[in-house]
Amino acid sequence: MREIDIPTLHDALARATSDPAAPRATVVDVRETHEFESGHVPGAVNIPLSEFVERVDEVTSLPGEVFVICEVGGRSAQVTAWLGQQGYDVANVAGGTGAWRAAGHPVV
């Protein structure tokens, strides 16, 4: 399972928005809707773990890099491992949204 840290995620998102030649980057937040609505990485797409299997096509059809996040990294690690077993290249965000906040990055 591929895993990235918060500085790497921040850099990938910054490159994707500032450089048209850079690979696209999408954050998929697997927390439940009420958790997502309480604050998430700007631009993140919410596909709750409880709905993930039914909605997996929404993730596997995303262009560019896909980063999976939750609050601390446990649920996103499960999803990342499962997607990896299916042959998809996605990365888990170590520390999750909690680490994103702790690093001083905004949530919306």
| pLDDT surpassing 90 at residue 14 | yes
Query: What domains can you pick out in the chain, each with its CATH number?
Result: 2-102 (3.40.250.10)
d(CA 11, CA 13): 5
Cα distance between residue 56 and residue 15, in whole Å: 26
pLDDT tier at 12, thresholds 50, 70, 90? very high
**Band of pLDDT at residue 21, cut at 50, 70 and 90:** confident
DSSP codes joined into one string, 63-92: -SEEEEE-SSSHHHHHHHHHHHHTT---EE
| Interval 25-75: pLDDT, tens | 999 999 999 999 999 999 999 999 999 999 999 999 998 899 999 999 999
CA distances in angstroms from 20 to 23, 60, 71, 90, listed in the order given: 8, 22, 30, 21
- 13 vs 65: CA distance, rounded Å: 10
CA gap 53, 72 in Å, rounded: 21
pTM, two decimals, is 0.96
